[in-house]
Amino acid sequence: MLGMSGRALSFGVVAEAYERFRPGYPMELVDMVMAYAGRPVRTALEIGAGTGKATRLFAHRGVMVTATDPDEAMLAELRKHVPANVTTQQAAFEDLRLGSRYGLVYAAAALHWTDPEGRWARVAALLEPGGVFASCGGPFQLADPSVEEAVRAARAPFLDSDEIPSPDGTPPDHEMQWPGTELQQSEWFTGVEQSVIERRVTMNARDYVGHLSTLSAYLLLPTAEREQVCSRIMQVLPDRVEMAADITVHLARRRHED
């Protein structure tokens, strides 16, 4: 099985599908980050930008965004959708050159692909003192339990689960979720906040299966198995499905240097 870096790079083969089937982010996300910052945010570094679903929101607010991703195919797709105040850099987070500092460093459904070793010291090194770190993400789940059970049964011969477990093992009912748990323990950050943006998404069955085809759990299956499991799932779906797609947002501020 591929390691974390391999899984992160597996998205490039489906960059166009990722752009088509993954939902975007609401403007409320940007509002939340800007309100927390409490001062103008002029520059930002994005970790694992993918096709730029979050990038374009911040860029349209006038933020000069440096969008980074290890996969050139994802960045090529991103460039089709973002304004001119976005620059791109093909690199994994761990390989980014340090030196520049930003008012904001953020990750949208991407932080779990980064190496935990030295993660927060590296984020801090990329932030201005008092700068903001933001991370958002959350499961994309079928809202109807009976449909969820039918999909689970159809998937079972191939996959036990298609979700990514909490990177630090925090249980789902814990008051503070990852990465807030790590941020609270980090010497580099203060003012850790966790918020939830409630969201429901409705899509047709074919688009839902298209979304599944962009998930790392399915991308790692051999092609024949992936096609078979997607076909099995398609057969048990109603014409339209409702998704529970709440976004959990974590915010923190880089401590001022002594």
Q: pLDDT tens for residues 94-152?
A: 999 999 999 999 999 999 999 999 999 999 999 999 999 999 999 899 999 999 999 99
Which CATH superfamily includes the segment(s) 4-140+165-200+245-254? Answer: Vaccinia Virus protein VP39 (3.40.50.150)
Q: What is the pLDDT of residues 193-225, one digit of tens each?
A: 999 999 999 999 999 999 999 998 998 899 999
Q: What residue ranges do the domains of the chain occupy?
A: 4-140+165-200+245-254
Q: Give dist(CA 62, CA 41) in Å, integer.
A: 9
Q: What are phi and psi of 36, to 5 degrees?
A: -65, -40
**Would you call the peptide bond into 129 cis, given omega within 30 degrees of 0 as the criterion?**
no
| Residue-averaged pLDDT of the chain | 93
- Give dist(CA 191, CA 194) in Å, integer: 10
Task: Dump pLDDT digits (tens) for 38-58.
Answer: 999 999 999 999 999 999 999
Which of 235, 232, 230 minimizes the C-alpha distance to 211? 230
Binning pLDDT at 50, 70 and 90, where does residue 3 land?
very low
